[in-house]
Protein backbone atom coordinates (compact mmCIF):
# COMPACT_ATOMS: atom_id res chain seq x y z
CA UNK A 1 0.00 0.00 0.00
CA UNK A 2 1.13 3.53 -0.76
CA UNK A 3 2.06 5.21 2.51
CA UNK A 4 3.00 8.56 0.95
CA UNK A 5 0.04 9.63 -1.21
CA UNK A 6 -3.47 9.18 0.23
CA UNK A 7 -5.13 10.55 -2.92
CA UNK A 8 -3.45 7.85 -5.05
CA UNK A 9 -4.49 5.23 -2.49
CA UNK A 10 -8.06 6.54 -2.51
CA UNK A 11 -8.18 6.45 -6.32
CA UNK A 12 -6.98 2.83 -6.29
CA UNK A 13 -9.58 1.86 -3.69
CA UNK A 14 -12.30 3.71 -5.64
CA UNK A 15 -11.32 1.86 -8.83
CA UNK A 16 -11.71 -1.44 -6.96
CA UNK A 17 -15.09 -0.29 -5.64
CA UNK A 18 -16.24 0.69 -9.15
CA UNK A 19 -15.27 -2.80 -10.34
CA UNK A 20 -16.84 -4.67 -7.44
CA UNK A 21 -19.36 -2.63 -5.46
CA UNK A 22 -22.90 -3.37 -6.72
CA UNK A 23 -24.48 0.06 -6.14
CA UNK A 24 -23.16 3.63 -6.26
CA UNK A 25 -19.47 3.07 -5.44
CA UNK A 26 -19.11 6.87 -5.52
CA UNK A 27 -21.72 7.39 -2.77
CA UNK A 28 -20.40 9.18 0.29
CA UNK A 29 -21.87 10.48 3.50
CA UNK A 30 -21.38 14.23 3.78
CA UNK A 31 -21.44 15.51 7.36
CA UNK A 32 -21.91 19.21 8.07
CA UNK A 33 -23.15 21.15 11.08
CA UNK A 34 -26.22 23.31 11.50
CA UNK A 35 -25.74 26.98 12.45
CA UNK A 36 -26.56 25.87 16.04
CA UNK A 37 -23.72 23.33 15.93
CA UNK A 38 -25.77 20.14 15.55
CA UNK A 39 -24.44 17.41 13.24
CA UNK A 40 -26.20 16.96 9.92
CA UNK A 41 -25.46 14.14 7.45
CA UNK A 42 -26.71 12.91 4.09
CA UNK A 43 -25.53 10.81 1.14
CA UNK A 44 -24.18 12.59 -1.94
CA UNK A 45 -22.23 11.38 -4.97
CA UNK A 46 -18.55 11.98 -5.59
CA UNK A 47 -18.16 13.46 -9.07
CA UNK A 48 -14.43 14.02 -9.18
CA UNK A 49 -11.22 13.47 -7.27
CA UNK A 50 -7.71 14.72 -7.92
CA UNK A 51 -4.83 16.07 -5.83
CA UNK A 52 -6.88 19.23 -5.17
CA UNK A 53 -9.68 17.29 -3.46
CA UNK A 54 -13.09 15.63 -3.70
CA UNK A 55 -15.92 17.21 -5.75
CA UNK A 56 -19.69 16.97 -5.38
CA UNK A 57 -22.54 19.09 -6.77
CA UNK A 58 -25.69 20.43 -5.16
CA UNK A 59 -28.18 23.25 -4.84
CA UNK A 60 -26.50 26.05 -2.88
CA UNK A 61 -29.91 27.06 -1.51
CA UNK A 62 -30.50 23.60 -0.02
CA UNK A 63 -30.13 22.83 3.67
CA UNK A 64 -26.60 21.55 3.11
CA UNK A 65 -25.75 24.65 1.08
CA UNK A 66 -26.89 26.86 3.94
CA UNK A 67 -24.91 24.85 6.45
CA UNK A 68 -21.77 25.00 4.28
CA UNK A 69 -22.13 28.77 3.94
CA UNK A 70 -21.93 29.06 7.75
CA UNK A 71 -19.25 26.42 8.39
CA UNK A 72 -17.13 25.11 5.49
CA UNK A 73 -15.55 22.33 7.60
CA UNK A 74 -16.93 18.92 6.63
CA UNK A 75 -16.40 15.20 6.92
CA UNK A 76 -16.91 12.61 4.18
CA UNK A 77 -17.31 8.87 4.64
CA UNK A 78 -17.10 6.18 1.97
CA UNK A 79 -18.23 2.71 3.03
CA UNK A 80 -17.71 -0.13 0.58
CA UNK A 81 -19.39 -2.98 2.42
CA UNK A 82 -18.61 -5.68 -0.14
CA UNK A 83 -14.90 -4.75 -0.04
CA UNK A 84 -14.96 -4.37 3.76
CA UNK A 85 -13.38 -0.95 3.54
CA UNK A 86 -14.11 2.60 4.53
CA UNK A 87 -12.41 5.94 4.02
CA UNK A 88 -12.94 8.95 6.30
CA UNK A 89 -12.04 12.42 5.04
CA UNK A 90 -11.96 15.70 6.96
CA UNK A 91 -11.55 18.95 5.10
CA UNK A 92 -12.73 22.36 4.00
CA UNK A 93 -15.13 23.06 1.12
CA UNK A 94 -14.81 25.76 -1.50
CA UNK A 95 -16.91 26.34 -4.59
CA UNK A 96 -15.73 24.85 -7.88
CA UNK A 97 -15.22 27.26 -10.77
CA UNK A 98 -18.19 28.35 -12.89
CA UNK A 99 -16.59 26.55 -15.85
CA UNK A 100 -16.39 23.29 -13.87
CA UNK A 101 -20.02 23.62 -12.76
CA UNK A 102 -21.20 24.40 -16.30
CA UNK A 103 -19.30 21.45 -17.76
CA UNK A 104 -20.63 19.00 -15.20
CA UNK A 105 -24.21 20.28 -15.46
CA UNK A 106 -24.08 19.94 -19.27
CA UNK A 107 -22.85 16.33 -18.91
CA UNK A 108 -25.91 15.28 -16.89
CA UNK A 109 -28.90 13.48 -18.38
CA UNK A 110 -31.49 16.01 -19.65
CA UNK A 111 -34.03 14.68 -17.14
CA UNK A 112 -31.62 15.30 -14.28
CA UNK A 113 -30.94 18.84 -15.51
CA UNK A 114 -34.69 19.53 -15.65
CA UNK A 115 -35.24 18.03 -12.20
CA UNK A 116 -32.46 20.13 -10.65
CA UNK A 117 -33.67 23.34 -12.28
CA UNK A 118 -37.26 22.73 -11.10
CA UNK A 119 -36.35 21.93 -7.49
CA UNK A 120 -36.30 24.31 -4.55
CA UNK A 121 -34.29 21.66 -2.72
CA UNK A 122 -34.99 21.24 1.01
CA UNK A 123 -37.91 23.69 1.00
CA UNK A 124 -41.47 22.59 1.82
CA UNK A 125 -43.33 21.09 -1.16
CA UNK A 126 -47.13 21.34 -1.19
CA UNK A 127 -47.49 18.15 -3.27
CA UNK A 128 -45.47 15.90 -5.56
CA UNK A 129 -47.71 17.05 -8.40
CA UNK A 130 -46.56 20.65 -7.88
CA UNK A 131 -42.95 19.58 -8.45
CA UNK A 132 -43.83 17.43 -11.47
CA UNK A 133 -45.76 20.37 -12.95
CA UNK A 134 -42.64 22.54 -12.64
CA UNK A 135 -40.59 19.85 -14.38
CA UNK A 136 -43.22 19.61 -17.15
CA UNK A 137 -43.24 23.40 -17.61
CA UNK A 138 -39.45 23.42 -18.00
CA UNK A 139 -39.62 20.44 -20.37
CA UNK A 140 -42.08 22.41 -22.52
CA UNK A 141 -39.73 25.41 -22.51
CA UNK A 142 -36.64 23.26 -23.17
CA UNK A 143 -37.89 20.21 -25.12
CA UNK A 144 -34.35 18.92 -25.73
CA UNK A 145 -33.64 19.16 -22.00
CA UNK A 146 -30.93 21.78 -22.54
CA UNK A 147 -32.03 23.90 -19.60
CA UNK A 148 -29.21 26.21 -18.51
CA UNK A 149 -27.52 25.62 -15.18
CA UNK A 150 -29.39 27.53 -12.47
CA UNK A 151 -27.26 30.13 -10.69
CA UNK A 152 -27.93 28.42 -7.35
CA UNK A 153 -26.70 25.02 -8.58
CA UNK A 154 -22.98 24.35 -8.52
CA UNK A 155 -20.35 22.27 -6.81
CA UNK A 156 -17.95 22.12 -3.92
CA UNK A 157 -14.44 20.79 -3.69
CA UNK A 158 -13.41 19.35 -0.32
CA UNK A 159 -9.73 20.04 0.25
CA UNK A 160 -8.73 17.35 2.73
CA UNK A 161 -6.58 17.95 5.76
CA UNK A 162 -6.94 14.35 7.02
CA UNK A 163 -7.78 11.03 5.33
CA UNK A 164 -8.15 7.73 7.16
CA UNK A 165 -8.29 4.30 5.52
CA UNK A 166 -9.87 1.34 7.29
CA UNK A 167 -9.61 -2.25 6.07
CA UNK A 168 -11.49 -5.04 7.82
CA UNK A 169 -9.40 -7.98 8.98
CA UNK A 170 -10.42 -11.23 10.66
CA UNK A 171 -11.00 -11.29 14.42
CA UNK A 172 -11.38 -7.50 14.40
CA UNK A 173 -7.65 -7.06 13.79
CA UNK A 174 -8.52 -4.27 11.36
CA UNK A 175 -5.96 -2.05 9.68
CA UNK A 176 -6.25 1.73 10.04
CA UNK A 177 -3.93 4.33 8.59
CA UNK A 178 -4.48 8.07 9.04
CA UNK A 179 -2.88 10.66 6.79
CA UNK A 180 -2.59 14.30 7.90
CA UNK A 181 -1.62 17.08 5.51
CA UNK A 182 1.63 18.67 6.60
CA UNK A 183 1.92 21.10 3.67
CA UNK A 184 0.88 21.49 0.02
CA UNK A 185 1.15 17.99 -1.42
CA UNK A 186 2.89 16.70 1.71
CA UNK A 187 1.32 14.13 4.01
CA UNK A 188 2.40 12.28 7.11
CA UNK A 189 0.82 8.95 7.98
CA UNK A 190 0.34 6.92 11.13
CA UNK A 191 -1.03 3.47 11.81
CA UNK A 192 -3.85 3.49 14.38
CA UNK A 193 -5.09 0.77 16.67
CA UNK A 194 -8.39 -0.59 15.35
The residues that are catalytic are 172
Question: Which residue, 120, 108, 74, 78, is CA-closest to 94?
Answer: 74
CB atoms under 10 Å from CB of 14, counted, come to 18
CB atoms under 10 Å from CB of 97, counted, come to 11
End-to-end CA distance of the chain: 18
The answer to whether the Cα torsion of 97, 40, 18, 162 is positive or negative is positive
| Distance in angstroms (rounded) separating the CA atoms of residues 190 and 25 | 26
| Distance in angstroms (rounded) separating the CA atoms of residues 181 and 12 | 19
| Distance in angstroms (rounded) separating the CA atoms of residues 90 and 73 | 8
Amino acid sequence: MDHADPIARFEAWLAEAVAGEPNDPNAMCLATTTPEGFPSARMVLLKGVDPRGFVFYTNFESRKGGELAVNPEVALLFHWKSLRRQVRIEGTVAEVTQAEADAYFASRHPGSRLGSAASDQSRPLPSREAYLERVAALRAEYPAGDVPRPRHWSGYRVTPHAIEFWQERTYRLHERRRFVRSGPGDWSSTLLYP
